[in-house]
Structure 1
Amino acid sequence: MTRLLDPTAVRELAARLDLRPTKQRGQNFVTDANTVRRIVQLAGVRPEDTVLEVGPGLGSLTLALLEVAGRVVAVEIDPLLAGALPATVAARAADRAAALDVVEADAMRVTELPAEPTIVVANLPYNVSVPVLLHLLATFPGWGRGLVMVQSEVADRLVARPGSKIYGVPSVKMAWYANTARVGSVPPRVFWPVPNVESGLVAIERIDPPATTATRGQVFAVVDAAFGQRRKMLRAALSGLAGSSAAASTALEAAGVDPTARGETLTVEQFARIAELLPSQR
């Protein structure tokens, strides 16, 4: 029988470890058992799954994942937390302790895991959530679905569609890899320390990237340039990549895109087509 963490247990663990949560590492630990069980349920974790969890912290979500998943691979950058997690699991879910692998590493740099994940479920640190997520999508192609908890504002950006005021680089790059949907919110009160923002839950379903002769790097370079000067028309924003505003206009017209349009109106497929046609990208 798994004993999930409650507010008292979280504080006791932190005191035992002499842990002082830092904003630098985005450390806000979930203290509510209902919240972590809800996350596992929304993620659709199955017994055959190998779950990749990033930033397990004190183990609140880890314990809930181990109730359902076949295996959990937890990547933790903090050596204190990475070292303590196996003992917490052994004490609270002894029969599932062997199903946990802890990897002490920076999730933005990790390239090898003890098992290939089939799903990612994580409470991502607010300050690095987007780069971590994009790195995991690029580095571990085997996982096909996921559910991440991020700052509410970031959640909205990840799921934004063309034409939205908040549609930007994270929106387009996520669309290269996956379909996304906002599936819930999490209030600040279920965390310790209590953050000053609400969290959002984003469901991820991996898809094939757009059919294009351009590489992902070439497409993402166009995306970065288009939003680097968000108020500029595309012919101006892409002039650096193309070599000139005139060359950018020619490529945009060939791609079927109005040179006076702005990046927030384009789909990922349109960005891919532009990348194929820019002179510097060929």
Structure 2
Amino acid sequence: MTSPRLLGPAEIRGLAAELDLRPTKQRGQNFVIDPNTVRRIVRESGITADDVVVEVGPGLGSLTLALLEVAGHVTAIEVDSLLAGRLPRTIAEYAPDQASRFQVILEDALKIAEVPGPAPTALVANLPYNVSVPVLLHLMALLPSLRHGLVMVQAEVADRLAAPPGSKTYGVPSAKAAWFADVRRAGAIGRNVFWPAPNVDSGLVAWTHHAPPTTAVTREQVFAVIDAAFAQRRKALRGALRGIASVEQLSDAFSTIGMDPLVRGEALGIDEFCALAEALNR
């Protein structure tokens, strides 16, 4: 079995010209043109031949081909019908031996309700920057079979996703991601490996799935508390949570779990958010 040929600058621009494609900022279309970068992403992701990988926003297929070098199966989710229509032919041309282990789904990853085919075990993607966090959280919730993953996002978003409680960058993305997984920064990516080059830096975020917290309330109830806690970041929780609970409810909740009502949301880890949500929903 031969390894797939990867796409370089000439191949990417050639495919774009064939499709009369003009990358749009609206869909976050910045295509990776450096084979070394996509191989690095695959290497850092830790996927093996046992993995069924789901990829979001495959674009012209740069990362897809590198994933097919290693993964047992790749399912790509692409919202652009032009790109989704061309991708199977690109795989057949550049990785004919791997074509049977690939499928593309024409769908919005933010709205997808199921992923047909073998259950995904890993998520590896160059996520569109404008929807990266919602897409990541949606797929983590939708696909409990996911065991690990690595995504490329805007550098500032990578910092927020991997931030621990108490840090300046800790917020909604970090707290919600912690419900599903242990998250860490996995490196930086320069701007010159993209076409067109973005005007922001990129970062890699790796994560490993863990069991959700043990709690008597739903994930939605916990996430509602997280959203409220950070909606007015500078406010103490006593004031920040007034939109979802009365003064009496808050007083009782803080007293029940022994939490200082003057603490801010950025000081709480996911287990503490769960405890607070439980106390508010008794």
The TM-score, its normalising length taken from structure 2, stands at 0.97
Counterpart CA distance in 2 for 1:173 and 1:203 is 15
Within the alignment, does 1:189 sit opposite 2:192 as a pair? yes
Pick from 163, 179, 182 the counterpart of residue 182 of structure 2.
Answer: 179
Pick from 144, 149, 153 the counterpart of residue 156 of structure 2.
Answer: 153
Within the alignment, does 1:223 sit opposite 2:222 as a pair? no
Pick from 124, 131, 134 the counterpart of residue 134 of structure 2.
Answer: 131
Aligned to 1:61: 63
Give the counterpart letter for 1:240 in structure 2.
G
Any idea what SS the aligned residue of 1:258 has? coil
Give ranges in structure 1 of 5+ residues lacking alignment. Answer: none
Give the counterpart letter for 1:241 in structure 2.
I
Give the counterpart letter for 1:143 in structure 2.
L
Aligned-residue CA RMSD (Å): 0.9
Counterpart CA distance in 2 for 1:42 and 1:143 is 17
1:249 positional shift: 2.6
Within the alignment, does 1:233 sit opposite 2:236 as a pair? yes
1:247 positional shift: 2.7
After TM superposition, list the pairs within 5 Å mapping 1:43-58 onto structure 2. Answer: 43-58=45-60
Deviations 1:119-138 (A, max 9, x none): 00000000000000000001
Deviations 1:166-191 (A, max 9, x none): 11000100001100010111100000
Counterpart CA distance in 2 for 1:272 and 1:243 is 18
1:48 positional shift: 1.5
Aligned to 1:7: 9
Deviations 1:241-275 (A, max 9, x none): 2222x431321232221100100011110010000
1:217 positional shift: 0.6
1:276 positional shift: 0.5
Deviations 1:101-141 (A, max 9, x none): 00000001111222210100000000000000000001010
Counterpart CA distance in 1 for 2:157 and 2:186 is 13
Aligned to 1:16: 18
Any idea what SS the aligned residue of 2:208 has? strand
Aligned to 1:93: 95
Aligned to 1:37: 39
Q: Percent identity?
A: 61
Counterpart CA distance in 2 for 1:240 and 1:56 is 40
Give the counterpart letter for 1:9 in structure 2.
E
Any idea what SS the aligned residue of 2:203 has? strand
Aligned to 1:105: 107
CA contact (8 A) 1:212 1:276 kept: yes
